């Protein structure tokens, strides 16, 4: 097979131009063929469970770069290098149409996600103690899961996913936000980005729609595939409610409950 370009990182990616957009999975060899936007990538699936579940510090990871404040609403935000370059290219193009794109959140490791999850868990418990609401433990987990991942299952762990401009869908329904969303729907794919959490009307499972969340497919497709292969609900632990991961089917229904714009799987058996 002709290799045009190879990137050596946590896993090996070799590109060969070809049309189509799908993933062939050969679980016997642990080598997968990814086709994204006309590019075929052969991936030796050596991505570790520790990486996939966010057990690392992006500030110290060689494949991550700090996002300039020009592009981000906060200090100390990180992305994988290729995703950051693609995002900056997209910003340049968007500006030509008067569209402003600002990253609100990028990489979040396990401990970042655990803080988000635990804060929501505790806040709901406090409301329950005051008699404002009543929820069983699993109902509480499902309520948080409308928009927040269990630690260890977030796509934000991977350095490929970003939240843009507003964390409210309503922002994207009118005015400036509507223009931003329409621009992204037409143009983001040219830069490798897709929206994983689209409307659930098509039967997509898991998280509610998030018009702000975009994923850099040339990298995230491989991590999605590796996550589907390697992560099990029983591995999720060390946060409140983790004992419900299996009953909720976290990996299958949530982690893999993404739009077909972001991933189409075919299996070679």
Question: Which residues of this chain interact with Zn ion, rule CB under 5 A?
Answer: 163, 213
For the bound state, the minimum distance from the C-beta of residue 91 to Zn ion, rounded and expressed in Å, comes to 18
Alpha helices in 10-107 (DSSP H): 49-52, 81-96
By C-beta, is 33 or 163 nearer to Zn ion? 163
For the bound state, the minimum distance from the C-beta of residue 104 to Zn ion, rounded and expressed in Å, comes to 9
Q: Name every residue whose Cβ is closer than 8 Å to that of residue 148 and which is 6 or more positions away in sequence.
A: 113, 116, 117, 120
For the bound state, the minimum distance from the C-beta of residue 6 to Zn ion, rounded and expressed in Å, comes to 30
By C-beta, is 35 or 259 nearer to Zn ion? 259
Query: Contact, 168 vs 208, CB < 8 A?
Result: no
For the bound state, the minimum distance from the C-beta of residue 114 to Zn ion, rounded and expressed in Å, comes to 16
By C-beta, is 208 or 247 nearer to Zn ion? 208
By C-beta, is 80 or 213 nearer to Zn ion? 213
Q: Name every residue whose Cβ is closer than 8 Å to that of residue 18 and which is 6 or more positions away in sequence.
A: 35, 38, 39, 40
Strand partners for 6: 14
Pick left, alpha or beta for residue 212 (phi over 0 → left; psi -120 to 50 → alpha; otherwise beta). Answer: alpha
What would the 3-class secondary structure string for 46-72 be?
CCCHHHHCCCCCHHHCCCEEECCHHHE
For the bound state, the minimum distance from the C-beta of residue 212 to Zn ion, rounded and expressed in Å, comes to 7
Q: Which residue is nearest to Zn ion (CB)?
A: 213
By C-beta, is 35 or 149 nearer to Zn ion? 149
By C-beta, is 25 or 192 nearer to Zn ion? 192
Considering only CA atoms, which of 226, 215, 222 is closest in space to residue 262? Answer: 215
For the bound state, the minimum distance from the C-beta of residue 156 to Zn ion, rounded and expressed in Å, comes to 6
* Sheet (strand 103-105) strand order: 103-105, 161-164, 213-216, 193-194
């Amino acid at each position: 097979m002709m290799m045009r370009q190879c990137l050596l990182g946590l896993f090996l990616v070799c590109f060969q131009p070809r049309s189509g957009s799908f993933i062939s999975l050969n679980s016997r060899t642990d080598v997968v063929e990814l086709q994204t936007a006309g590019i075929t990538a052969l991936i030796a699936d050596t991505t570790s469970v520790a990486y996939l579940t966010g057990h690392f510090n992006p500030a110290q990871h060689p494949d991550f770069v700090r996002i300039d404040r020009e592009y981000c609403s906060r200090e100390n935000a990180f992305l994988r290098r290729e995703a950051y370059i693609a995002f900056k290219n997209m910003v340049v193009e968007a500006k030509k149409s008067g569209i402003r794109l600002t990253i609100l959140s990028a990489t979040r490791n396990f401990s970042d996600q655990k803080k988000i999850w635990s804060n929501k868990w505790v806040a709901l418990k406090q409301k329950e103690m005051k008699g404002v609401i009543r929820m069983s433990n699993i109902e509480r987990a499902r309520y948080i899961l409308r928009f927040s991942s269990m630690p260890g299952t977030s796509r934000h762990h991977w350095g490929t996913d970003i939240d843009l401009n507003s964390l409210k869908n309503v922002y994207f329904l009118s005015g400036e936000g509507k223009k931003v969303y329409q621009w992204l729907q037409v143009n983001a794919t040219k830069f490798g980005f897709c929206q994983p959490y689209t409307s659930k009307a098509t039967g997509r499972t898991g998280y509610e729609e998030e018009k702000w969340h975009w994923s850099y497919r040339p990298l995230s497709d491989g991590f999605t595939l590796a996550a589907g292969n390697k992560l099990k609900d029983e591995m999720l632990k060390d946060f409140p409610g983790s004992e419900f991961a299996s009953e909720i089917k976290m990996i299958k229904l949530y982690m893999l409950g993404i739009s077909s714009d972001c991933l189409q799987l075919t299996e070679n058996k």
